[in-house]
Structure 1
């Protein structure tokens, strides 16, 4: 079994879509650790705010199999990948870490995920895995968050508990 750290986000009906994704992750992977949910502005385009969270799962999938499974889940929630990369989305789930792998490809799969530099990915992960060491970097998520420009004013927490979402 491997451990995967995921980043989840949505800015189209985000509360319902994140709750549905949380339910699907629990059904597929059993016990899932979820971070608090944060509200963050869209990055790279003008659009509604995102709700973002992180999750830790245990899986027998390979990174490619998990990535494919997550893409199918996104599609089931109405994600359309034919448009611009930075756009509104009902559901976006990325693998940020998979065990201690450093990997590039196939396709958009890159581990660790470059979006870790953004507060909307880093803060939720630092909440649930502060002592996790970033492969290829050597710093912990807590150290990265403490050094992040957004650490002095973290994004607001939303009243959405993914662990309890029906």
Structure 2
């Protein structure tokens, strides 16, 4: 089974859609592990703030099959695919890593570049898997976060409870 990490974000009815996403992932995949939830400003457009977190789980699906499954979870949660790329959304799930695969795998670029570009991906990832190593850079996520320019994007920990699980930082 492959170990995967995905980022999850929402800026529309955030508690509802993040909760629905976690319910779906928990039903579909084994050993769902979750980072704390953070609030970030929208990137690339003016819009409502996002809630973001990272999830990890194991799967037997191929990269392509997993990508389709994640898109289906988005679609099941009112994701509009006709909006501009940089716009608000009910739910955004991005595959960050799939084991240590590198390159374009079944139409998915791995590892996802956003890992090192966006605080709302890197900080939750470093919280969830501090000792895991980036497949290309070979640095731990904890070290990458320590080296990240924290002035670039501001994040705020938020209080978030999902099925009596406290996902607060």
Name the TM-score, length of structure 1 as normaliser.
0.93
Q: Which residue pairs with 2:65 in the alignment?
A: 65
Aligned equivalents of 1:47 and 1:154: distance in 2?
A: 15
- Tell me the number of residue pairs that the alignment of Structure 1 and Structure 2 aligns: 164
Shift, 1:152, TM fit: 10
Q: Which residue pairs with 1:112 in the alignment?
A: 111
Whether the aligned pair in 1 keeps the contact of 2:97 and 2:110 (CA below 8 Å) is: yes
**Unaligned 5+ runs, structure 2:** none
Instruction: Write the mapping of 1:11-50 to structure 2, written as runs, cut at 5 A.
Output: 11-50=11-50
Q: Secondary structure at the match of 2:96?
A: strand
Aligned equivalents of 2:64 and 2:162: distance in 1?
A: 25
Q: Secondary structure at the match of 2:27?
A: helix
Q: Secondary structure at the match of 1:68?
A: helix
Q: Secondary structure at the match of 2:136?
A: coil
Aligned CA-pair RMSD: 1.8
Q: Which residue pairs with 1:8 in the alignment?
A: 8
Q: Secondary structure at the match of 1:51?
A: strand
Aligned equivalents of 2:14 and 2:25: distance in 1?
A: 16
Aligned equivalents of 1:72 and 1:164: distance in 2?
A: 26
Shift, 1:150, TM fit: 1.3
**Unaligned 5+ runs, structure 1:** none
- Structure having the larger proportion of residues in helix: 1
Shift, 1:133, TM fit: 0.6
